[in-house]
Amino acid sequence: MSRNFSALMALAGFVAAMPSHAAADGKAIYQKNCAACHMATGKGIPGAFPALAGNTFVQGPAKDPAAVLLKGRGGMPDFSQSLTDGDIAAVLTYARSSWGNKAEGLSDKDVAALRTEISAELFSAGQLSNKH
């Protein structure tokens, strides 16, 4: 029993030491919130939804696509109240490193700082928080 307890405590310590955005599954968040428009392949729908694959905006300064997720732009809804900072960091890290994209990820702390800087609404876990 003590061996199992020790293993459990080691696992708990490992999880606690992980960056908080690592706990969120960027691919799953993408599939749930983004793939309907930008497609599972990241290729988008020409003339309707831009491709994320090979997109220089997505691969540019992380602050720029993060601001779009927090404030919306054009037909893109804002996700400020429906995704946590960790979720936004995870999904952007996924998009910035998938489909041939080769950009650095970002942390939930990066997203939180940007949320404050641009006065984006805070995440709300309430039932009616998803505005899109």
The residues with which 48 forms a beta bridge, in sequence order, are none
pLDDT one-digit tens code per residue, 87-112:
999 999 999 999 999 999 999 999 99
Q: Is residue 4 part of a domain?
A: no
Q: Is residue 127 part of a domain?
A: no
CATH code of the domain containing 72: 1.10.760.10
Buried b (16+ CB within 10 A) or exposed e, 74-106: eebbbbbbbbbbbbbbbbbbbbbebbebebebb
Q: Is residue 125 part of a domain?
A: no
pLDDT one-digit tens code per residue, 40-97:
999 999 999 999 999 999 999 999 999 999 999 999 999 999 999 999 999 999 999 9
Q: In the structure encoding, which two tokens stand for residue 36, read together?
A: 């309907």
pLDDT one-digit tens code per residue, 5-51:
444 444 444 444 444 444 589 999 999 999 999 999 999 999 999 99
